[in-house]
């Protein structure tokens, strides 16, 4: 411009004196003076006037994820500024770091990224919020348990972001269909390691059961458990009906049979027990309970003796009806187990001094340890050795000292015939 004006002024000179005179004339006539214009001022050198970051914000959804920012620097003339490099800083390096415009997520949180040059700054916001995109079962798969029992190992899952980093604070649900038991808790949130767990108590469905884990909006996993077959109780225990066929009569034992005294057997009394317990035996002296039963038919003392053996050696007390003889008495159910397979059962022959019938420690298992399906035992008469009367209706005559229990088969007034028969029938 300056050069252009200079050339113009030289051109005017070439125009001749007329111009010069005219100029002088005009000077005398009060016109504006003609002088060279002042040189224009030196323009300021460009400097950074503003920094603008693109994009204005970034959301990072997994740890280690990066995003790039660009910084546009404009000078005071509105032109792109090329005078230097910007410096990048993070407002919170615990949340994200930045280098050369690239931010990298470190932890959930937010902050701002700043690009600086010559005391001019531009900022953009950065937010780190891990998105749960992975669900991994980390514990409790493939277990087996009986129905309606709690599994030994807890069901555990881990929630990860897209980079495989665990995500804390994610709600996780553990749910089951009917028959598949229940989870406790049914809902929880992941810990700092991204883990959530629940204990699973199986339901009554057989074969296998399923627990469903859900997290976030779409994460899900199904966990299976096998169900153990429960051994039916009948494998270890058995129920029997006991029949007592009383055959003591004036035809089987004609000698002095007490027909006019109401011949009968007293209420049956006994025990289910193991081999550690013994309530009576031939050649041994009778307990007070056996003496009381054999002499009077009372059951209280023997019941107390049986109860003293419970629960270690005796499982239960057996009570059965009394009955006229000949006749039939039935005990509807006696439960025995492999641990308590023996039956002791006695009844007084009445009237008599101290005579009785029954079994002692009779096993309902066969030689292979299996339950007998049906078994009969013939019952001879026994003398308890506690009263010395010689006949059915002899008056009381206490035997002192007490004598051992003896078998009275063929001993008067008994014949060689049994007085009855027990039959045990497995139900
Ligand atoms: Ca006595
Ligand atoms: Ca006797």
Threshold 0.75, pTM exceeds: no
What is the residue whose two structure tokens read 């415009």? 101
Among 209, 227, 245, identify where a domain stops. Answer: 227
- 399 CA from centroid of ligand 1 (Å): 6
123 with 184, same domain: the answer is: no
Among 128, 149, 181, identify where a domain stops. Answer: 128
Q: Does some domain include residue 418?
A: yes
- 387 CA from centroid of ligand 1 (Å): 4
- 75 CA from centroid of ligand 2 (Å): 132
Q: Which residues contact 118 (CB under 8 A, 6 or more apart)?
A: 47, 48, 83, 84
Q: Using omega within 30 degrees of 0 as the cis cutoff, is the peptide bond preceding 369 cis?
A: no
Q: Does some domain include residue 43?
A: no
- 385 CA from centroid of ligand 1 (Å): 8
Q: Does some domain include residue 10?
A: no
Nearest ligand to the CA of 408 is 2
- 271 CA from centroid of ligand 1 (Å): 23
261 with 337, same domain: the answer is: yes
Neighbours of ion ligand 2 (CB under 5 A): 354, 383, 387
Note whether 241 and 425 are within 8 A (CB). Answer: yes
What is the residue whose two structure tokens read 């005391």? 119
394 with 410, same domain: the answer is: yes
Q: Does some domain include residue 85?
A: yes
Phi, psi torsion values for 214, nearest 5 degrees:
-130, 150
Q: Does some domain include residue 309?
A: yes
- 255 CA from centroid of ligand 2 (Å): 17
| pLDDT at position 18 | 40
Strand 219-227, strand 143-145: pairing = parallel
- 66 CA from centroid of ligand 2 (Å): 105
Range of the domain at 257: 234-426
Among 82, 101, 128, identify where a domain stops. Answer: 128
Q: Does some domain include residue 23?
A: no
Q: Does some domain include residue 26?
A: no
184 with 117, same domain: the answer is: no
**Domain of residue 119, CATH code:** 2.60.40.1080
Read off the tokens for 179: 């028959």
- 382 CA from centroid of ligand 2 (Å): 9
CA 8 distance to own-chain centroid: 102
356 with 264, same domain: the answer is: yes
**Domain of residue 190, CATH code:** 2.60.40.10
246 with 380, same domain: the answer is: yes
| pLDDT at position 13 | 41
| pLDDT at position 33 | 67
- 355 CA from centroid of ligand 2 (Å): 7
Residue ranges for the chain with pLDDT beneath 70: 1-33, 230-235
250 with 323, same domain: the answer is: yes
- 302 CA from centroid of ligand 1 (Å): 15
- 310 CA from centroid of ligand 2 (Å): 30
Q: Using omega within 30 degrees of 0 as the cis cutoff, is the peptide bond preceding 101 cis?
A: no
Element (H, E) at 136: strand 134-139
- 396 CA from centroid of ligand 2 (Å): 10
User: DSSP string of 189-201?
Assistant: E--TTSEEEEEEE
Nearest ligand to the CA of 384 is 2
- 374 CA from centroid of ligand 2 (Å): 33
Give the other-Cβ count within 10 Å of 205's Cβ: 17
282 with 375, same domain: the answer is: yes
CA distance 140 to 210: 12
- 291 CA from centroid of ligand 1 (Å): 6
**Domain of residue 326, CATH code:** 2.60.40.2130
Nearest ligand to the CA of 356 is 2
- 317 CA from centroid of ligand 2 (Å): 26
Read off the tokens for 202: 């199986």
- 326 CA from centroid of ligand 1 (Å): 26
309 with 400, same domain: the answer is: yes
Tens-digit pLDDT profile for residues 349-384 = 999 999 999 999 999 999 999 999 999 999 999 999
Nearest ligand to the CA of 386 is 1
CA distance 216 to 225: 24
264 with 408, same domain: the answer is: yes
105 with 177, same domain: the answer is: no
Q: Does some domain include residue 13?
A: no
381 with 328, same domain: the answer is: yes
Domain count across the chain: 3
Nearest ligand to the CA of 402 is 1
- 35 CA from centroid of ligand 1 (Å): 164
Note whether 243 and 427 are within 8 A (CB). Answer: no
Strand 264-265, strand 323-324: pairing = antiparallel
């Amino acid at each position: 411009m300056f050069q252009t004006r200079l050339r113009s002024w030289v051109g005017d000179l070439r125009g001749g004196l007329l111009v010069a005179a005219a100029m002088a004339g005009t000077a005398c006539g009060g016109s504006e003076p003609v002088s060279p214009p002042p040189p224009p001022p030196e323009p300021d050198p460009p400097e950074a006037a503003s920094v603008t970051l693109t994009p204005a914000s970034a959301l990072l959804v997994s740890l280690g994820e990066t995003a790039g920012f660009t910084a546009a620097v404009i000078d005071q003339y509105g032109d792109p500024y090329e005078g230097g490099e910007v410096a990048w800083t993070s407002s919170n390096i615990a949340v994200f770091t930045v280098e050369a415009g690239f931010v990298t997520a470190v932890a959930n949180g937010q902050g701002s990224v700043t690009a600086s040059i010559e005391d001019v700054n531009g900022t953009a916001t950065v937010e780190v919020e891990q998105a749960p995109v992975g669900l991994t079962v980390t514990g409790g798969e493939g277990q087996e348990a009986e129905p309606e029992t709690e599994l030994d190992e807890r069901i555990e899952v881990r929630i990860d972001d897209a980079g495989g980093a665990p995500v804390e604070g994610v709600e996780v649900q553990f749910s089951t269909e009917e028959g598949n038991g229940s989870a406790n808790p049914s809902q929880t949130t992941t810990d700092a390691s991204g883990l959530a767990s629940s204990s699973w108590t199986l339901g009554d469905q057989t074969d296998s059961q399923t627990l469903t884990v859900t997290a976030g909006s779409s994460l899900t996993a199904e966990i299976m458990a096998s169900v153990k077959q429960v051994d039916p109780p009948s494998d270890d225990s058995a129920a029997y009906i006991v029949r007592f066929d009383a055959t003591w009569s004036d035809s089987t034992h004609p000698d002095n049979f007490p027909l006019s005294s109401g011949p009968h057997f007293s209420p049956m009394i006994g025990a289910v027990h193991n081999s550690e317990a013994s309530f009576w035996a031939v050649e041994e002296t009778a307990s007070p309970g056996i003496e009381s039963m054999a002499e009077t038919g009372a059951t209280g003392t023997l019941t107390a003796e049986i109860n003293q053996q419970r629960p270690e050696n005796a499982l239960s007390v057996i009570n059965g009806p009394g009955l006229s003889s000949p006749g039939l008495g039935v005990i509807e159910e006696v439960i025995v187990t492999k641990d308590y397979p023996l039956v002791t059962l006695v009844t007084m022959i009445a009237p008599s001094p101290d005579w009785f019938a029954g079994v002692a420690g009779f096993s309902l298992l066969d030689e292979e340890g299996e339950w007998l399906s049906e078994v009969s035992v013939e019952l001879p008469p026994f003398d308890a050795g506690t009263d010395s009367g010689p006949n059915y209706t002899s008056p009381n005559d206490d035997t002192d000292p007490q004598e051992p229990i003896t078998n009275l088969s063929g001993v008067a007034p008994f014949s060689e015939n049994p007085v009855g028969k027990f039959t045990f029938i497995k139900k």
